[in-house]
Structure 1
Amino acid sequence: MSPETILYIILAGVISIALAIFMYGYKSKETRRLRWVFGTLRFITLFSILLLLINPKFESETYTTEKPKLPVLIDNSASVAVLNQDGNVLELIQELKENSKLNNKFDLSYYSFGSEFQKSDSLSFSEKNTNISQALSSVNEIFKNQTAPTILITDGNQTLGSDYEFSSTNFKNPIYSVILGDSIQYTDLKIEQLNTNRYAFLKNQFPVEVILTYSGTSSVNSEFVITQGASTVYRSKVSFSEKENSSTLNFNLPANSVGLQKYTAQILPLDNEKNKTNNIKHFAVEVIDQATNVLIVSKLSHPDLGALKKSITTNEQRAVTFKKPLEAANTLNDYQLVILYQPDRSFAPIFSEIEKLDKNYWVIAGLQTDWTFLNTVQSNYKKNSSRQKEDVQAVLNPNYGTFAVEDLSFDDFPPLHTQFGELTISVPHEVMLEQTVSRIATESPLLATMEMNGKRNAIWDGEGFWRWRASSFLKTDSFQDFDGFIGSLVQYLASNKRRSRLEVSSETFYYNNNPIKISAQYFDRNYIFDNRASLNITVKNTETEKQAVFPMLLRNNFYEVDLNSLPAGEYNFTVSVADEAVSSSGIFTILDFNVEQQFLNADVLKQNRVSNNSQGKAYFATQTDALIQDLIENTNFQNIERSEQKVVPLIDWKYLLALIVLALSAEWFFRKYNGLI
């Protein structure tokens, strides 16, 4: 409190006393006792009111003690159970929860991880993947400004995400690893990796690459076999030793029948092998009798063309050919879709042939596009271009209903380059991506699709989308999202199939360690997407005849269901609409592959390195007492006393107002009691 405020309070006291004496001490007719009572009450009232007017401020300081955090990360993947460590984990967690000294010193919190990182409620040890890197990064973000040594309980075998040893280098707190399993090297033969195409063409051969590994000290011989049903389609003898402990086989298998062809690859186990699960892998190839051929016509060299080819050919059913305008006109009949990149007058024969053959086509415009020519050669859309450059971004139209499109956060992608001017479309169409400038909608489409008389085409008004593909990779560590977006657009444009009110999208086969999702779109009788419908999918296992019904959930402009709860097997499915005689059926196969069953022991060396690099320490599951004791005795982890200083004005002190009311009420009461009112 400042000296000036103290002076004001003293003056307020003097004034209050003076006024009270003047009112009840000078020529007052009340008795002496009443004068003292009334004078005291009036002094209290006046002094309190003056204090409120002065409003002095008081400083208060509170102290709180904060314990250091101790997050516990628990591996909830199936490999923990495979290594018979699930019981050890539960015992360890129980000891941590019951140790009073540890809980008095630390604020413990428990998290589990498998495919995803989450707060730990219960442990099932059934997760099909392990992402240790994501768990460490998440905890590092949650406790980034706090003292938080971390207990990492895992076997160290990661199947998903970036290398957690690299992620731990950015960790700000020590990591105390609890190693589940041992470092004993068992004799083991293993199919380390099997690579093949998802699709093959009828009467062709498809390549298969297999990497076999061996753990052991003696020389061994075995045989690698691939079977299809009861017949053997490939056989090869293999030999290993302590030094030559891997072998790579490359061969081709024939594609003689259309449809899904399932195979079993096996390296025959040794007599003393402990884990024989990793000796077998199932895989499948879908044999088709034709591919989707896409022609890209361009006279320019541009990074967009490379990005376009990569995105389209991600699906092996599609092939891309590049041609210049002069050499492409006579070959259009060999392709299901023609993409015209930045057309000018040299494209005139192409447009003439497209019109004659009734071909589906997709125009991509940019800075080199001749809009004067494009406006005259077709009548679907026009643009009054000023030939000036404009940078535009995109936002997804949530009401787009031609096919399912997932929002890739298009508005966060780098801007595309286009010619300044308004694009107007004069035929029935749907805008997929709307054009924006500085996040303000221009009411001009960036990407729109059209369908008339069974013929489909699209206009994309902007170049530089190769940056979108790169940006998508930076966000997700994968090109999959952007490639899937382009793939869906190509699939729609390349097809002449008549549009149905119920469109279902599914894969022919899935691996059970990956997401198993089926999506659908339902349209009303005017072919407008209906987001009020109720869709269900009925799934039936063809072997067990077991049937299940799942509701499909609405996601933006499509419905989706997650079927990861289904076991491996062959299934028939039917998607139906409630209260409507509309349905669509199909088949899919779930292939059994559990990567978590491929491990024989813990990755001890890596867990030791992770702990040492973060100034922590590694322990085996049998050393729980040593871990707890080290944490309790470590003087680097101490309680932090935090002080908080508050400045409180007197006007916020409600008791002073109550005192004024009480003093005035008491004075009124005494006056009334003594007949002075």
Structure 2
Amino acid sequence: MKITTLAPDNFFYLMSLIGFLVLFYTFYQFFDKIKVRYILIVRLLIIITFLFLFLEPVIILERQKIKEQLWNIYIDRSMSMGYHQNPSKLSYLNGISDFVKKIKKNNVPFNIYSFSSTIENWDPNKKEINGSSTNISSIYKHINSDVNNNIMGAILISDGQVNLGTDIDKNLDKIKIPIHVIGTGDLDPMIDVQIHSIDVPPVIIKGEEAEFDVTILNYGNIKERANVTLYDKSKLIGSKVINLKGGGTKEKVKFLIKPVTSGEKNYIVKVNILEDEINIKNNKQNVTIHVLKSEYKIAIITGAPNFNTRILKNTFQKNSEYSVDHFIYADKSFRPSLNKFWKETYDLILFDNHPIKENGAKWATYRKAFAKKLISHKSNFGIIYGNNIHNGFLEDYLELFDLSLGKYNLKENEIYDWNFTDEWKGLFPFHTISSNIENDFMILPPLKPGLKIESTKSRVLARFNNTNITDPIILVGEKNDLRYFTWTSSGLSSLFYRSQVSNISDIVYEILTPIFNWLLRTKGDKDIYFRTNKNSYQQGELIEFTGKPIIEKKFKDEGILNIKMGDKVINSKPLKYNPLKGTFYSNIWASQSGNVNYEIQFGEPGNSYIVGRGSFQIQESQVELNQVFLNEYSLKKIAEESGGKYKRWDHKNDLLPFISPNSRAELITYSFPLYENIFVIFLVVGLLIIEWVLRRNLGLS
């Protein structure tokens, strides 16, 4: 036992000097008075006690305790451990049980754990060897945790097939105890052939060739040929023969594809199953590619000449993919003849100041044929309002898309301010108008009202500045996969010419171009296309994402990849841009099994937009089966660098002499701060009470 105090400082010495001078003077004055002498003695004790407590004294007691050190046993329960021939699954479990009994017989205290992707307590009654992956680095963290500050050493039983966590030799230098390793399994890898990755552009143009690169990964002692086939749905479109070498080598196969139809194309890649192959689920993969058209046909039907027509044609001429047929009504007939219109297939039919009073009755009879043409040819539809349009005849065509005419509260011959809505930003988040909507310099010339169109299923992209959101200027929608658009103001040409002398001189083109692109799906439905390198994964596999912008300059910033299970975001990763390839990329590890959705997000916090969505499948993990053999090199390295021993499964009992009981002397220290002790406080209070009683007996105040 010992007592420690703070080092006395000058203040302590000053207080001590003053206290003793006062006491000395008091003793000198009253020492001959016996009764007062007792009070002085008590007061002296109080001052000495206070001065002592001022130094914060602590009583320290030290005791030595002998503590037994433990051994930690880590048993690999990943799926690959159940597929070795030597030992078999049953022999593996029985062998562990016998080995543990021998350690107990030697009176060695131990903890026993199992590990796969995580570490758990080992249950000897549980015969399951089905872990989804192997994470040996988790053992290093477990050994170095506070829970294991009294372990003598560790015993690792594994085949060393790591497919999760850090490299097997990373952080080994931080291990301060020996790790004895029992290498389990066959040295010769089991046979497996898998489609490792598929590299193909997410989006291509119809009629153009694109490379379809497939990487085949193969394990085991293989010296034979395999057939890699490519299917467009069920149609075989390519086949290549490769020579497999095994040993984890990769074989690359290149196909050339040239889609002749547009839309979403689903391709299937297969590699034939080999004899004795352990995992056949990874021999087939699907991949989706978006094929865009190379040419889009547009029909403009003009009922009466107007200034809007030239603006529309100039907009289409800016895009070389557009081919325009213009039908104009003059002298009681269309030029050229409508015979061509009815025969041709058009991607977009645009009514420009049409139908009018002069041809409206005849077009009323065309309504049924026109509806049939839209459906059979999958033509989209647009209306540009003009002053000559006959509302009654037009309404017959509006009804095809569940639109109807209403009555304006606005005066037809007056002009009104207008603006774009949040729907515009939602539909075209990366176009120029969206980035300038909030800017003060974007002052839009006022417009005259024309049509008041009512709809419950359409999106209003621009409207007049009144409180009624049903007063649209630009309205778009979709019905049965057919898209439609209306411009309801009579002032399109007025907007064009009045904006030429302002800082928004291209405003009309910036309005019409994204709308026409959306109607025609010239960029598909998106500004950027993403895909994964496969459509199906096993838990523990790396999932690679690749995205290609249609117009690269729109996407300057990095985006975010959100991974979702149901409605819950379970992971988020940044998207990086590769300027050499002109693509965005990211990757994640496959974790939870099931159907997984992903979202691609661009923009700033609070002003971001989802530009793409997709999904992929994660199977109940069999990534463990991609490599089933004893990774002896890595396991030996663990043993050597930690100061342990390595033995194969058949010689595991040779480790028993190195696993012995051990103990260490541990010094336990107990401290008792006297300035916080309740008995010391009682002592001080007691002395004060005694002094007070003595003073009262003498009649002192």
Query: What TM-score do you get using the length of structure 2 for normalisation?
Result: 0.43
Query: What TM-score do you get using the length of structure 1 for normalisation?
Result: 0.45
Q: Which has the larger radius of gyration?
A: 2
